[in-house]
Amino acid sequence: MALKMDPTYRKISERFYQEPDYLAEVFAKAWFKLTHRDMGPKSRYIGPDIPNEDLIWQDPVPAGRTDYDVAAVKADIASSDLTLAEKVATAWDSARTYRQSDKRGGANGARIRLTQQKDWQGNEPDRLARVINVLSNIAQKHQISLADTIVLAGNQGIEEAAKAAGVHVDVPFAPGRGDATLEQTDVYSFEVLEPVADGFRNWLKKDYNVQPKSSCLTAPS
C-alpha cells in the first residue's frame, strides 16, 4: 500500500516500472549491501565476483605506510607537550567505537578527527582538537597516518605510566593504518557508535537519547 499510495514511494515505484534496468541495478546493489553489510571491510571478501568499486557503507580506508621508524615517532610524541592523560585518553576514544559484530569503528581511518566524532561530548572536543593538532604535525613530519600516530601516542603514554611505576612495558604495535576522508565516511551511520557511557573513564553523557537524531538508513550506493 505504501509503495502505491505514499506520494514519495509512488514516484520510486513508477520509475521502477518504467525503467526495469534501473530497478535491476538498484535491487542488485541493495541486495549486495544486505548480504555484505556486516562482513566488515572489503579486504575480508573472497571470491572472483568482488566488485572493483568502493562503496561508502564499506567504510573504506586507504592503506597506510608500514616502512617507517616507529621509535622516532614515539620519541617525538614523548617530547611533545601532551600530557600522559591526553595521549592515552585520545587513543582510547579513537579505538572504543570498534564494534566486533560488523567490524565498524575503531582507530583505523582516524575518523575521530572528522564530523561527527570530533564533536561528540565523550571525546571532549576541546581536548581532542588540541591533541589532534599536535599529533597531526608529528604525523606530517614522518609522512605517516594520523591513525597510526594516535595509537602510538596511546602506547607511549601507557609505557610512560608503567615506567613511572617502576615497570618496563613494551606495548605491541602493528603499523599500516590509514586516514579516511570525510567523503569516504557515511557520517550519519556512525552516529549509532557514539558512546553514552564509558566504564573505563567513569563517564556518562549528561543528556542523551539512545535513538539516533537522524536516520541511519541510506539509499543503495
CATH assignment at residue 97:
1.10.520.10
The percentage of the chain sitting over the pLDDT mark of 90, rounded to a whole number, equals 84
**Per-residue buried b or exposed e for 168-204, using 16+ beta carbons within 10 Å of the residue's own CB:** eeeeeeebebbbbeeebbbebbbbebbbeeeeeeeee
Is the pLDDT assigned to residue 217 strictly greater than 60? no
Say if 32 falls within a structural domain: yes
Could you tell me if 102 and 148 lie in one domain? Answer: yes
Provide the pLDDT for residue 208.
66
Say if 217 falls within a structural domain: no
Could you tell me if 183 and 100 lie in one domain? Answer: yes
Residue 86 buriedness (CB in 10 A; 0-12 / 13-18 / 19+): buried
Could you tell me if 109 and 196 lie in one domain? Answer: yes
pTM of the model: 0.87
Q: How does the average pLDDT of the chain come out, rounded?
A: 92
Could you tell me if 153 and 193 lie in one domain? Answer: yes
Say if 210 falls within a structural domain: no
Beta bridge partners of 104: 99
Could you tell me if 74 and 35 lie in one domain? Answer: no
Could you tell me if 138 and 170 lie in one domain? Answer: yes
When pLDDT is cut at 50, 70 and 90, the band that residue 213 belongs to is low
Could you tell me if 80 and 44 lie in one domain? Answer: no
Could you tell me if 32 and 113 lie in one domain? Answer: no
Say if 183 falls within a structural domain: yes
Could you tell me if 174 and 80 lie in one domain? Answer: yes
Q: Tens digit of pLDDT for each residue in 132-147?
A: 999 999 999 999 999 9
Could you tell me if 111 and 146 lie in one domain? Answer: yes
Could you tell me if 167 and 195 lie in one domain? Answer: yes
Say if 84 falls within a structural domain: yes
CB 91 within 8 A of CB 155: yes
Say if 215 falls within a structural domain: no
Could you tell me if 103 and 148 lie in one domain? Answer: yes
Enclosing domain of residue 8 = 2-58
Q: Tens digit of pLDDT for each residue in 15-64?
A: 999 999 999 999 999 999 999 999 999 999 999 989 889 999 999 999 99
How far does the chain reach from its first CA to its final CA, in angstroms? 25
Give whole-number Cα distances, 27 to 36, 52, 107, 180, 219, in Å: 14, 18, 33, 28, 11
Q: Tens digit of pLDDT for each residue in 159-169?
A: 999 999 999 99
Say if 136 falls within a structural domain: yes
Total number of domains constituting the chain: 2
